[in-house]
């Protein structure tokens, strides 16, 4: 994916700077053209010559050295870049980017570029976990900058924890999934639902389920990266919505989700219903907190609308994808849902399997099509499952 791409690699003053030499080698091996920019403090850790030799390119270390050139250069570089990668990124550079400071060649390039910016933090665990750094990272993400999670383990400062520079090969993989992605969903509107719904019993209690929202959010994120206009309708989760969404609509109950989905259905080309909608809600909401009294209690439940089934009935041009979370007779139940809800295909989750379903970062799914075909996917990160699902949506769009 990186073949022929122009990557500006910013190296900042961390002990991990030496590992970026390997990163340059791997990027070159993938066919990327690499332009290294080093901050002044990075030059204290490793010599520019190392990067010059490996990148087969002059290394930029100081924009004030050749005033006649830099003015043009930082804009030219920013314009030419397909990707600006900052690895390793210190707490200091992260803070500078978050604040919009542009006082050297690297920070000016970051501010001037319209290319994707990827930041790979590497620092002491306490610096990484400091609320100020976390807030700055959050600001970067909100501006559409990709921030790779640091690895955990032994740190050069003697501590063990989060903050380790990831393996260069993992960085290349991460970058590859971002920069090289084909914009194959450009011009398409993708509606995704995620998370659980909450059905209130009284002001302090609700009925819900274990859905974390991770699968739906991964779908939304990958669809954004592939160029789609993404509408994410989500029940309550503890994860941040991905950057670059067209619309984010937080909801609580199944009825609220139904309303939001129906309002956005007509304009959607693709609908993927990853939400775990509560099938029932309490018949009566108690406006005051229910007090404990007597031996037990009964809550009468009424059925929620089946949102996906409604969409199946209304469906015109839309590609409709559902999920099925099953514990017993998974395939039989999923096939029945595929038919009843008039779906193009259904993603089956056997939630009893280790590494699948709720809360997990990985998932094991089977995809069942209308013609009876079943495809078994291996255990993968939810991000990769998301891409696999989107890959399978494409033929229905064309």
Instruction: Based on the shown chain and the rule CB under 6 A, indicate whether residue 172 belongs to the binding site for ligand CTP.
Output: no
Q: Is 31 exposed, middle or buried (0-12, 13-18, 19+ CB in 10 A)?
A: exposed
Instruction: Based on the shown chain and the rule CB under 6 A, indicate whether residue 268 belongs to the binding site for ligand CTP.
Output: no
- Least CB distance from residue 257 to ligand CTP, whole Å? 8
Instruction: Based on the shown chain and the rule CB under 6 A, indicate whether residue 265 belongs to the binding site for ligand CTP.
Output: no
Residues 327-366 as x/- pattern, contact with ligand CTP by CB under 6 A = ----------x-----------------------------
Q: Which of residues 217-256 bind ligand CTP (CB under 6 A)?
A: 254
On the CB side of 115, CA atoms within 13 Å amount to: 27
Q: Which of residues 295-314 bind ligand CTP (CB under 6 A)?
A: 304, 306-308
Active-site residue (options: 157, 178, 239, 255): 157
Instruction: Based on the shown chain and the rule CB under 6 A, indicate whether residue 275 belongs to the binding site for ligand CTP.
Output: yes
Residue partners of 263: CB distance under 8 A and separation at least 6: none
Count of beta carbons in the 10 Å neighbourhood of residue 296:
6
Instruction: Based on the shown chain and the rule CB under 6 A, indicate whether residue 32 belongs to the binding site for ligand CTP.
Output: no
- Least CB distance from residue 84 to ligand CTP, whole Å? 38
Between 26 and 277, whose beta carbon lies closer to ligand CTP? 277
Annotated active-site residue 157? The verdict is: yes
Candidates 72-80, 157-165, 172-180, 322-330 — which segment interacts with ligand CTP by CB under 6 A?
Answer: 322-330
Instruction: Based on the shown chain and the rule CB under 6 A, indicate whether residue 188 belongs to the binding site for ligand CTP.
Output: no
The secondary element (H helix, E strand) that includes residue 135 is helix 131-142
Count of beta carbons in the 10 Å neighbourhood of residue 200:
16
DSSP 242: P
Question: Under a CB-based contact definition with an 8 Å cutoff, are residues 16 and 161 in contact?
Answer: no
Q: Is 227 exposed, middle or buried (0-12, 13-18, 19+ CB in 10 A)?
A: middle
Chain-centre distance of CA 156, in angstroms? Answer: 29
Residues in the chain: 398
Between 323 and 345, whose beta carbon lies closer to ligand CTP? 323
Between 163 and 195, whose beta carbon lies closer to ligand CTP? 195
Helices and strands: H and E segment counts in the chain: 14, 21
- Least CB distance from residue 233 to ligand CTP, whole Å? 11
Question: Under a CB-based contact definition with an 8 Å cutoff, are residues 32 and 7 in contact?
Answer: yes
Residue partners of 163: CB distance under 8 A and separation at least 6: 121, 122, 123, 124, 125, 127, 128, 150, 155
Candidates 162-170, 175-183, 319-327, 379-387 — which segment interacts with ligand CTP by CB under 6 A?
Answer: 319-327
- Least CB distance from residue 229 to ligand CTP, whole Å? 21
- Least CB distance from residue 350 to ligand CTP, whole Å? 11
- Least CB distance from residue 356 to ligand CTP, whole Å? 13
C-alpha closest to that of 312 among 344, 343, 266 = 343
Instruction: Based on the shown chain and the rule CB under 6 A, indicate whether residue 324 belongs to the binding site for ligand CTP.
Output: yes
Chain-centre distance of CA 73, in angstroms? Answer: 32
Beta strands in 105-236 (DSSP E): 116-121, 146-147, 151-154, 160-164, 189-194, 199-202, 205-207, 229-234
Instruction: Based on the shown chain and the rule CB under 6 A, indicate whether residue 323 belongs to the binding site for ligand CTP.
Output: yes
Q: Which of residues 54-113 bind ligand CTP (CB under 6 A)?
A: none
Catalogue the active-site residues: 157
Residues at the interface with ligand CTP (CB under 6 A): 254, 273, 275, 277, 279, 304, 306-308, 322-325, 337
């Amino acid at each position: 994916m990186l073949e022929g791409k122009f990557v500006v690699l910013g190296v900042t003053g961390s002990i991990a700077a030496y590992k970026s030499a390997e990163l340059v080698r791997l990027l070159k091996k993938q066919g990327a053209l690499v332009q290294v920019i080093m901050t002044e403090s990075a030059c204290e850790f490793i010599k520019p010559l190392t990067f010059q030799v490996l990148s087969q390119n002059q290394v930029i270390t100081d924009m004030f050295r050749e005033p006649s050139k830099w003015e043009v250069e930082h804009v030219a570089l920013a314009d030419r870049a397909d990707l600006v990668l900052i690895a390793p990124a210190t707490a200091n550079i992260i803070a500078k980017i978050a604040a919009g400071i542009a006082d050297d060649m690297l920070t000016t390039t970051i501010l001037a570029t319209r290319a994707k910016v990827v930041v790979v933090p590497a620092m002491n665990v306490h610096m990484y976990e400091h609320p100020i750094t976390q807030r700055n990272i959050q600001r970067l993400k909100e501006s559409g900058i990709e921030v790779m999670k640091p690895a955990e383990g032994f740190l050069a400062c003697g501590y063990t924890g989060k903050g380790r520079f990831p393996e260069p090969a993992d960085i290349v993989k991460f970058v590859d999934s971002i920069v090289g992605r084909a914009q194959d969903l450009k011009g398409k509107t993708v509606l995704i639902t995620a998370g659980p719904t909450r059905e209130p019993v009284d002001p302090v209690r609700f009925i819900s389920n274990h859905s974390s929202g991770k699968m739906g959010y991964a779908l939304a994120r990958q669809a954004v990266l592939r160029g789609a206009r993404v509408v994410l309708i989500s029940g309550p989760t503890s994860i941040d919505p991905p950057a670059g969404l067209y619309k984010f609509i937080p909801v609580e109950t199944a009825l609220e989700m139904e309303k939001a989905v129906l309002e956005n259905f007509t304009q959607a080309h693709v609908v993927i219903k990853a939400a775990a909608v509560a099938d029932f809600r309490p018949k009566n909401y108690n406006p005051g907190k229910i007090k404990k009294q007597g031996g037990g209690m009964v809550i009468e439940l009424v059925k929620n609308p089946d949102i996906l089934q409604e969409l199946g009935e209304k469906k015109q041009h839309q590609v409709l994808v559902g999920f099925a979370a099953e514990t017993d007779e998974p395939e039989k139940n999923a096939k029945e849902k595929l038919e009843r809800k008039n779906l193009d295909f259904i993603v089956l989750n056997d939630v009893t399997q280790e590494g699948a379903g709720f809360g997990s970062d990985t998932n094991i799914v089977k995809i069942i099509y209308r013609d009876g075909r079943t495809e078994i996917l291996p255990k993968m990160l939810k991000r990769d499952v998301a891409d696999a699902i989107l890959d399978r949506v494409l033929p229905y769009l064309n």
